[in-house]
Structure 1
Amino acid sequence: MTVRAVRGAIQVERDDEPHLLESVQTVLRRIMDANDLSPDDLISIVFTATPDLVSAFPAAAARAIGLTHVPLMCARELDVKGALPRTVRVLAHVRTARAARDVRHVYLGGAAALREDLAQPGEGGVTL
């Protein structure tokens, strides 16, 4: 097994605790499914949230789906003029047998714009 980093992001529709937590759970599940990961494969996860998201800690979403033994950290994303609003980014450190080129990064909803180089026309998200 090798340690790899997996990226992901999701843009939420509104800063509402249930909606934010559900959205973060969705991106986490998609990251885990796309990379065939179990909770035991997760080493740590770092979340960032844009300054306009204040209703909940993204890490609470991970805890709610059973990631109770994974070290989690939340941080504030830089407040850069013109940046994508209402966005949670994920950086997960994982144990995997996958080569770096085979790691699947997941960008959902409006966050697909963060990786327009990967997006497909009409797609609500992108996995690479």
Structure 2
Amino acid sequence: MFVRGIRGATTVESNEEGQILAATLELLEKIVRENEVKPDEISSVFITVTKELTATFPARAIRQMPGWDLVPLMCSIEIDVDNSLPKCIRLMVLANTTKRQDEMRHVYLKGAQVLRPDIVKLTNP
């Protein structure tokens, strides 16, 4: 058994609570589904947002999911780099798994697909 990091990112159109929560939920659900992991196999989830996303904590979306109440979550602001992708939510899910590193499926949705086109091409042929 190994602890593997699963990356993911997505974007929202505006700084609205509903959009942030829905996008976070969509991203996490796809990461979990693609990697066949359950909440009790998750060590922790790190969530970052770009500086303009201040309407809510994205972790609130995860807390509403059945079985996720004991998973440690951490929200933070992404480093503010010039010309970085705006309105972006990123997740780093640390999961206990028997899968190899190259078997992990990282997920990039919506505007965040530009961050890792190499991974998007592999996971969305």
TM-score range, shorter chain: over 0.9
Aligned to 1:123: none
Aligned to 2:83: 82
Alpha-carbon offset, residue 127 of structure 1? 3.6
String of CA shifts for 1:53-89, please: whole Å, max 9, x gaps: 0011011111011311000001100111100000011
Aligned to 2:103: 102
User: Aligned Cα RMSD in Å?
Assistant: 1.4
After the TM superposition, list the runs of 4 or more consecutive aligned residues in structure 1 that deviate by more than 6 angstroms.
none
Query: Is residue 50–residue 87 contact of structure 2 (8 Å, CA) maintained in 1?
Result: yes
String of CA shifts for 1:2-41, please: whole Å, max 9, x gaps: 1111100011111110111011000000000000011111
TM (norm. structure 2) is 0.93
Aligned to 2:11: 11
- Unaligned residue ranges in structure 2 (runs of 5+): none
Where do 1:1-128 residues align within 5 Å? 1-66=1-66, 67-120=68-121, 127=123
Aligned length: 123
Q: How much identity, in percent, do the aligned residues show?
A: 38
